[in-house]
Chains A and B, each alone.
Chain A
């Protein structure tokens, strides 16, 4: 039984990491209705930039700040070159554009910083500690704390600052928000910047686990089922969805995997998400307005 719980717990922690990625999607989806496929590429770009700066001998804090600034610059460029010319187009076109964008960002990331696997050491030991009778990785605990801090910061920023309130106004009614003088391009730039910094944090956590390499950008494909289960427009939903996906995936791998010749983690989450779509199309916490036929 303790084996079951250990699997469950490690699955939940993996889920936290999924949520971390999914939050970046939710931010952009809320503000601009775009499913940003390039979030994965942004994650790769941020992590690669950070690791390159560290390898050049830059101290941790400075590298973090510089990378954040790079992500802000990228957000401004994206808004200017991609989003502005495509405003008022249907969500599908925007989705395709972010698909193209992900190719561009990935290409640049690897062209400028190479395709090698970079090891990233955040100084957090990945050792097992015993908590309440089961073994848990210390790294997982700290990663969850980082995620928690990030979510708390975002929640405060959204609910207490003027900027956050305008952002929520845009999310709830774009036209009304514009009519009271909220400038949409500014909001987009801010949201994409924040999503870029979230991508940086997620990239660091994932990167120190797997090494910073191309496959990081694929992590974000898992965000799609997480978002579907949690609801596209809800940060608590992203977390709940992430936990659910992480836990069920880990359990399915252990208990279903051996019955069908090996790991099922490549596809399990998607099938779970499809099941969810059929039963509860808006996700656990999403708006009811999701398109249903």
Chain B
């Protein structure tokens, strides 16, 4: 998981003007922004947008769990804080532009994250689950029982009053996609910057051995709280995007315990301590139910019973895959991909 960077390989004589990495990033960016030209509204709204947002939420949890080694089973709570903060900021401070609102909402979620991360200074492991599980239930209750948060709406739902940047309307599927992808690209860059920075390395040191980390002078308590804060910042923004970029209208129950588990699964499936792996995990979480639905149209699954049976089948498949992955591929799908790439590379090298 934390293999040190290989010592710099001796450079080939013909060094291209910019590295393959840069090329890949540029190609990826162009591809990401060209997606609406290829995909229709259904693909955008039902598959691509949720996958990207859930992947972003996965990054949020992964920063905490994969890099700092702290467990949270209440990620959805911080998403709901982001969503409800965004709603109230847009409603009550209409002069603020959308990007600023998203950042403030993320910061509010970050503050909540730091508060619920406080117990991590004294306890480790899944005991910490109690604190984050507490956050999960507390905020679901808070947003359901105090209608102020949903502007006294009868149904306790929130929907974005406006979704625009510089008078550019973002309500269409393409608009929402650009909002989501632009935010996500920026946050991915931020995540990489953090992970590669001193802070990221200190997180990993704490994860691998906290006593050793404190011996070499890392301020463990501060770093843990920072991890909770940054993780919740990502989750908060992902929550806002989930509510308004994907669902359109949401209530507190859109961010229930099941959502928290889904994010946990994204991290496990995609790979602990990865950034792009989260999107693999998210694609899995989003696509499996859709594929099963399609499958049930082709194959007659009516012997299983009603529509609910399909949901149960989905649970069984999810659970089985989690267990199989933990046994066979503890580093997740991304390590599978990485090994594949390395195998290709070594083959290419040996053929030279």
Which A residues form the contact surface with B (CB < 8 A)?
35, 81-82, 85-86, 89, 91-93, 95-97, 99-108, 110-111, 114-115, 221, 224-225, 228, 260-262, 264, 266-267, 270-271, 273-274, 277-278, 281, 290-293
Instruction: For the complex, give the distance between the alpha carbons of A293 and B68 in Å.
Output: 14
On whether the beta carbons of A271 and B322 are closer than 8 Å, the reply is no
User: Which A residues touch B125, using CB under 8 A?
Assistant: 91-92, 291
User: Which A residues touch B257, using CB under 8 A?
Assistant: 221
On whether the beta carbons of A228 and B122 are closer than 8 Å, the reply is no
On whether the beta carbons of B145 and A106 are closer than 8 Å, the reply is no
User: Which A residues touch B141, using CB under 8 A?
Assistant: 264, 266-267
Some 28 contacts from A to B, beta carbons below 8 A apart, are: A35-B126, A81-B323, A82-B323, A82-B327, A89-B330, A91-B126, A96-B264, A97-B326, A104-B316, A106-B312, A107-B312, A107-B313, A107-B316, A108-B312, A111-B309, A111-B312, A114-B305, A115-B312, A225-B130, A260-B145, A261-B146, A267-B134, A270-B130, A270-B138, A273-B130, A274-B119, A274-B130, A293-B120
User: Which A residues touch B312, using CB under 8 A?
Assistant: 106-108, 110-111, 115
In angstroms, how far is the closest chain A Cβ from the Cβ of B246?
23
Interface set, chain B 258-276, CB cutoff 8 A to A: 261, 264, 268
User: Which A residues touch B330, using CB under 8 A?
Assistant: 89, 93
On whether the beta carbons of A99 and B315 are closer than 8 Å, the reply is no
Q: Which of A81, A91, A267, A293 contacts B121 (CB 8 A)?
A: A293
On whether the beta carbons of A270 and B124 are closer than 8 Å, the reply is no
Q: Is B220 an interface residue (CB 8 A)?
A: yes
Instruction: For the complex, give the distance between the alpha carbons of A111 and B310 in Å.
Output: 8
The B interface, classified by DSSP as helix, strand, loop or mixed, is helix
On whether the beta carbons of A273 and B126 are closer than 8 Å, the reply is no
Instruction: For the complex, give the distance between the alpha carbons of A260 and B142 in Å.
Output: 9
Which B residues form the contact surface with A (CB < 8 A)?
71, 119-127, 129-131, 133-134, 137-138, 140-141, 145-146, 210, 220, 257, 261, 264, 268, 304-305, 308-309, 312-316, 318-323, 326-327, 330
User: Which B residues touch A101, using CB under 8 A?
Assistant: 319, 323
Q: Which of A91, A104, A266 contacts B320 (CB 8 A)?
A: A104
In angstroms, how far is the closest chain A Cβ from the Cβ of B147?
9
User: Which B residues touch A228, using CB under 8 A?
Assistant: 127, 130
User: Which A residues touch B315, using CB under 8 A?
Assistant: 103-104, 106-107
User: Which A residues touch B145, using CB under 8 A?
Assistant: 260-262
Instruction: For the complex, give the distance between the alpha carbons of A278 and B330 in Å.
Output: 32
Q: A107-B315, A261-B145, A274-B134 are in contact. Are A293 and B124 (CB under 8 A)?
A: yes
- Closest residue of chain B to A283 (Cβ to Cβ) is B127
In angstroms, how far is the closest chain B Cβ from the Cβ of A191?
19
In angstroms, how far is the closest chain B Cβ from the Cβ of A147?
23
Instruction: For the complex, give the distance between the alpha carbons of A99 and B122 in Å.
Output: 25
User: Which B residues touch A270, using CB under 8 A?
Assistant: 130-131, 133-134, 137-138
User: Which A residues touch B309, using CB under 8 A?
Assistant: 110-111
On whether the beta carbons of A266 and B304 are closer than 8 Å, the reply is no
Q: A107-B316, A264-B141 are in contact. Are A86 and B133 (CB under 8 A)?
A: no
Q: A270-B131, A274-B131 are in contact. Are A111 and B119 (CB under 8 A)?
A: no
User: Which B residues touch A225, using CB under 8 A?
Assistant: 130
In angstroms, how far is the closest chain A Cβ from the Cβ of B40?
32
- Closest residue of chain B to A93 (Cβ to Cβ) is B326
Most interface-central of B124, B126, B131, B309 (chain A CB within 10 A): B126
User: Which A residues touch B120, using CB under 8 A?
Assistant: 293
On whether the beta carbons of A293 and B220 are closer than 8 Å, the reply is yes
Q: Which of B122, B140, B314 contacts A266 (CB 8 A)?
A: B140
In angstroms, how far is the closest chain B Cβ from the Cβ of A293?
6
Q: A93-B326, A115-B308, A267-B141 are in contact. Are A104 and B319 (CB under 8 A)?
A: yes
